[in-house]
Amino acid sequence: MVSSPLRKALSMTRPRPTPETDKSHASPFSRRRFLGMTGAVVAAGAAAPLLAACGDDRGGSGAKPTSNTLTIMTTGVPADEQLAMWKQYAAEPLGVELKFVTVADGTFPSQALAAQQSNNPPDIIQWSSQGAPVLKASGIALEPLDSYISASETKSDFYPQDYASGTIDDKVYALGFNCDSRAIAYRGDWAANAGPVPTNWDADEFGAWAAKMNGPNRTAFGWEAKTADGRGSSNFLPLLWSTGASLVTKQDGKWAIGFTESQFASVLDFYAKMVNTYKATPKDVAGWGYPDTDGGFSKGTLGAYSVGPWVTAICKDFPDVLKNIKCAPIPNLGTPTSFWSESALMLHSASANKDKAWQFIANMRSEKAQDAMTAMKGNTEGSPRISSNAKLADPLVKQWAAQLEFAKVPEPIDIHVVMDGVVYPAMQEVALKGSAPAEVAKAAMKNMETALTQLNV
């Protein structure tokens, strides 16, 4: 069984529950981050087979790495065009070959541990930065990167969230090579008469605007509220953060509630108004998960929802929708906020090629490599290097990247405990039953105390 520290460490933060990436998409990793990891990792801890030898899914021999080979454990080999850039800007300058070991999200920690126990660890681990606490808690020997960073990087070149996202107990273990935020994707054609989109708006301004997208056989605005949905937290949290609150805070080494009853009630009030005041959202949103929001938007029955820039990949088979996608900031309850998400690279402490592996990471984060990646046609990701986002080829993706400046890194907890036990029930109550947000918030505070007993085990 997986230990309780691992269950505590699981951070279900920016899952991308979309289909497997096809080769035409240039950023394959970003849509695979942490979908349904809580149950999957617990099950995998007991059932996953040992990964005794790191096999290359592109025909490698499975032999241990040599001095000119870097083994990367990942959930997917980069698409061809992106892989060519990895080689050109990061591998070839070092004179190394790349060998990829692909494992599923759900078995990632147990497979990494199996490779470590068989004395055949990867040199580099590529996963979500929020995966670093999971890996450490499951016994993976990650190398602290602080000394490497001090010697190789100018921190001001990168968003501070990039370093914060991979930090555990004041040490950096993961660094991003792409990142994204959340914003409102909406149908520009439906909103043609709704009025201009401001750079900053509150709940009422957004609700009045969104309601104008209503029409026959279509819904103006939606969100994920279904228990066990993997993406809803990335849409709920920015609203809570915009009140000035945190989800949780550390007090005397334990997690404590990071918000007040009134702050939680104000978020519930936003959802209630979308359903009952502005009629922009139907009551049955209480049962929606990501298939409903992704599917509704891509198929033309939903006008707007909070999502990442990879929404263009979701809609690639729906040209009428694709050509009409627009981007708007998330409505806020006091301060503009978004959700920080990134794909990251980590070093295994037992790597025989640790210095070369670090240099590969540094090369991936270099200005030359990051500029090339953001300028690549079809790219839907921003860069953790601030200046490189000016090179983004897609003007729509550039609008998402503008949210990175004020995006917040999610708290490193098992978010499913809070979402399933506190948030989703409250969202369902105000949407489906029309209950008063203030009353629901009172119950939520009690439920949050129960959730903390699980988080603080």
Instruction: Give the residue-averaged pLDDT of 347-359.
Output: 96
pLDDT at 279 over 90: yes
Over pLDDT 90: what percentage of the chain? Answer: 79
Q: Give the residue, 96 or 130, on which the prediction is more confident.
A: 96
For residue 417, give the 3-state DSSP assignment.
helix
Question: Taking Cα atoms as reference points, which of 98, 57, 59 lies closest to residue 75?
Answer: 57
Token pair for residue 345? Answer: 């690279």
Instruction: Give the residue-averaged pLDDT of 263-269.
Output: 98
Write down the pLDDT at residue 132.
Answer: 87
Write down the pLDDT at residue 64.
Answer: 52
Contact 288, 224 (CB under 8 A): yes
Tokens 């999971």 appear where? 134
Write down the pLDDT at residue 412.
Answer: 83
pLDDT at 306 over 90: yes
Instruction: Give the residue-averaged pLDDT of 237-256.
Output: 96
Contacts of residue 132, defined as CB under 8 A and 6 or more positions apart, other chains included, come to 142, 166, 168, 173, 174, 344, 346
Q: Taking CA 138 as the corner, what is the angle to CA 133 and CA 140, rounded to the nearest 5 degrees?
A: 80
pLDDT at 59 over 80: no
Instruction: Give the residue-averaged pLDDT of 37-51.
Output: 36
Write down the pLDDT at residue 133.
Answer: 84
What is the distance between the alpha carbons of residues 13 and 238, in angstroms, rounded to a whole number?
12
Instruction: Give the residue-averaged pLDDT of 227-238.
Output: 94
Contacts of residue 61, defined as CB under 8 A and 6 or more positions apart, other chains included, come to none
In one-letter notation, the amino acid at residue 415 is I
What is the distance between the alpha carbons of residues 98 and 90, in angstroms, rounded to a whole number?
10
Tokens 């993961």 appear where? 174
Helix axis angle for 261-272 and 424-432, nearest 10°, is 40
Q: What are phi and psi of 359, to 5 degrees?
A: -65, -35
Tokens 């979908």 appear where? 35
Confidence of residue 131 (pLDDT cuts 50, 70, 90): confident
Question: Taking Cα atoms as reference points, which of 161, 180, 182 lies closest to residue 172?
Answer: 161
pLDDT at 32 over 80: no
What is the distance between the alpha carbons of residues 228 and 73, in angstroms, rounded to a whole number?
28
What is the distance between the alpha carbons of residues 441 and 370, in angstroms, rounded to a whole number?
44
Q: Using the CB atoms, write b or e for 398-428: b if 16+ within 10 Å.
A: bbbbbbbebbbbbbbbbbbbbbbbbbbbbbb
What is the distance between the alpha carbons of residues 235 and 240, in angstroms, rounded to a whole number?
9
Write down the pLDDT at residue 105.
Answer: 84
For the ranges 76-80, 180-184, 297-301, 365-369, the lowest mean pLDDT is seen at 76-80
pLDDT at 66 over 80: no
What is the distance between the alpha carbons of residues 365 and 61, in angstroms, rounded to a whole number?
29
pLDDT, tens digit, for every residue of 136-192? 888 999 999 999 999 999 999 999 999 999 998 899 999 999 999 999 999 999 999
Instruction: Give the residue-averaged pLDDT of 245-252.
Output: 96
CA atoms within 13 A on the CB side of 414: 28
Question: What mean pLDDT, rounded, does the chain reach?
Answer: 87
Write down the pLDDT at residue 187.
Answer: 98
Write down the pLDDT at residue 94.
Answer: 96
pLDDT, tens digit, for every residue of 71-117? 999 999 999 999 999 999 999 999 999 999 999 988 999 999 999 99
Name the helix (H) or strand (E) containing 414: none
What DSSP line would sit under 80-137, residue for residue?
A: HHHHHHIIIIIIGGGT-EEEEEE--GGGHHHHHHHHHHTT---SEEEEEGGGHHHHHH
Contact 90, 82 (CB under 8 A): no
Over pLDDT 70: what percentage of the chain? Answer: 85
What DSSP line would sit under 228-292, residue for residue?
A: T-SSTHHHHHHHHHHTT--SEEEETTEEEE-S-HHHHHHHHHHHHIIIIIS--S-GGGGG--HHH
Name the strands in the sheet holding 97-102, side by side, starting at the edge strand that comes first in the sequence: 97-102, 69-74, 124-128, 341-347, 175-180
Write down the pLDDT at residue 242.
Answer: 98
What is the distance between the alpha carbons of residues 175 and 172, in angstroms, rounded to a whole number?
8
